[in-house]
Amino acid sequence: MNIHEYQAKTLFEKYGVPVPKGAAAKTAEEFATALASLPEGPTMVKSQIHAGGRGKGTFIDGYKGGVKFCKTKADAFEIAGKMLGNTLVTIQTGPAGRKVQTVYFTVASDIKKEYYLAVLLDRASSRPVIVASTEGGVEIEKVAHETPEKITKVLIDPAYGVADFQLRQLIAALELTGNEAKNAAKLIKNLYTMFWETDAAMVEVNPLITTPTGDVLALDAKVSFDSNALYRHPEIVALRDLNEEDPKEIEASKYDLAYIALDGNIACLVNGAGLAMSTMDIIKHYGGNPANFLDVGGGASKEKVIAAFKIILGDANVKGIFVNIFGGIMDCNVIAEGIVEAVKEVGLKLPLVVRLEGNNVAKGKETLANSGLALVSGDTMADAAQKMVKLVA
């Protein structure tokens, strides 16, 4: 689960990670109050959406830049009015862009130098890793590719947390000394504590900055959380912004279905993430285009299958439906009954190809055959995928 920058920075402050003073506003009426809480002088206005590349983004009305420097608070007030309610397109949002529903005002800090800092999971070692670089404010992927020696990774032992010698390693890698070193060490330690205590999946600060007065501040904040651990963090669940999520994905999550919308026209209903991914792959392999990823998971009830069908059909691009089930946990007959009921309930007019295999498959196939539905059966994934692609062509 992702949160906005302004929410992340509130968490940062709570954990003792210094950030520039800021205030968020959700309506134009709130601009004045938000700005009143900041000192006079240079102010940043930042569009709050769950996507990167905001600064270089363009609004659909042609206005350029989702993050702006303003010399005065009065300018900031005016610029915020251009952003709020407008739709921002960045390299990460796709062409449809994302509507800006919150703007964030912050004091514009004097920057001495920019750095990069992140905490995330290192899969190879199964440990948290702190990543630091002297190259901040730029795309870290580019740094990793072109000058990997400028990135330092320190693995953290989960039993002990960040050790002092590791902080010294990181500070040395960032080439900091004196007060800056002391402040950065404290910041890194606190950032790790936040990562660990909140069950974060990733905490990224790009850039982390030093100021001419020796302060070290998190100028930006990107934080995501492990969705498996949300049950023990109601305070974080409260930060979820449904405006940032696809309505179909929200509906799917109510039924515990893993759904991700894509831009093709063949809808997929599959059990198991690996099989769901390779169902998309095989559609593409035979020249089709998947409309979604949908994993109904194990132990899917009839209600789940019906919900899945409704979500799939909510996508206007869909021209055909491909059901691919290999039942290990799942009883194929439950799926079959779900399909029959769902098709009857939604009055399906699109071509439907079903490939069933596994647990209780004979009964499942019988249920489908006796349903009177105009569906096409596939024996293997390849067979079914080819039939599906032909039907929507």
Partner 1 sequence: MSILITPQTKILVQGITGAFGAKHAQLSLDYGTQLVAGVTPGKGGQFFEHAGHKVPIFNSVHEAAAITGATVSVIFVPPPFAGDAILECVDAGLDLAVCITEGIPIKDMVRVKRAITGKKTRLIGPNCPGLVTPGTGDRSNGGCRIGIAPGYIHRKGHVGVVSRSGTLTYEAVFQITSKGLGQSTSVGIGGDPVNGTSHLDVIKLFNEDPDTKGIILIGEIGGSAEVEAARWIKANCTKPVAGFIAGATAPAGRRMGHAGAIVGGAEDTAAAKIAVFQECGIEVAATPTDMADALLRAAAKKGVSLA
Just list the catalytic residues. Answer: 116, 204
Q: How far is the CB of 89 from partner 1 (least distance, A)?
A: 17
Listed as own residue / partner, the contacts of 27-33 with beta carbons closer than 8 Å and 24 or more positions apart are 27/84, 28/80, 28/81, 28/84, 31/77, 31/80, 31/81, 31/103, 31/105, 32/77
CA-to-CA separations, 184 to 118, 191, 207, 314, in angstroms, rounded: 13, 10, 13, 49
Residues 6+ apart with CB under 8 A from 117: 130, 131, 132, 133, 136, 188, 191, 204, 205, 206, 208, 218
Nearest residue to 15 (alpha-carbon basis) of 187, 239, 216:
187
Cα 135 from Cα 296, distance rounded (Å): 43
Residue closer to partner 1 by CB (options 123, 349) is 123
Residue closer to partner 1 by CB (options 159, 238) is 159
Residue closer to partner 1 by CB (options 30, 249) is 249
Work out the angle at residue 39's Cα, subtended by the Cα atoms of residues 109 and 20, and round it to the nearest 5 degrees. Answer: 35
Specify whether the CB–CB gap between 254 and 303 falls below 8 A.
Answer: no
Residue closer to partner 1 by CB (options 2, 210) is 2
Residue closer to partner 1 by CB (options 44, 312) is 312
Specify whether the CB–CB gap between 330 and 271 falls below 8 A.
Answer: yes
Q: How far is the CB of 60 from partner 1 (least distance, A)?
A: 22
Q: How far is the CB of 256 from partner 1 (least distance, A)?
A: 10
Q: How far is the CB of 307 from partner 1 (least distance, A)?
A: 16
In the complex, which residues of this chain contact partner 1 (CB under 8 A)? 92, 121, 123-124, 126-128, 141, 144-145, 157-159, 196, 199, 201, 226, 228-229, 231-232, 258, 260, 262, 270-278, 280-285, 290, 293, 295, 297-299, 326-329, 357-359, 380-383, 385
- Other beta carbons within 10 angstroms of residue 128's beta carbon come to 21
Q: How far is the CB of 275 from partner 1 (least distance, A)?
A: 4
CA-to-CA separations, 177 to 77, 180, 188, 383, in angstroms, rounded: 38, 6, 15, 65
Residue 153, Ramachandran bin (φ over 0: left; ψ between -120 and 50: alpha; else beta): beta
Residue closer to partner 1 by CB (options 27, 92) is 92
Q: How far is the CB of 126 from partner 1 (least distance, A)?
A: 4
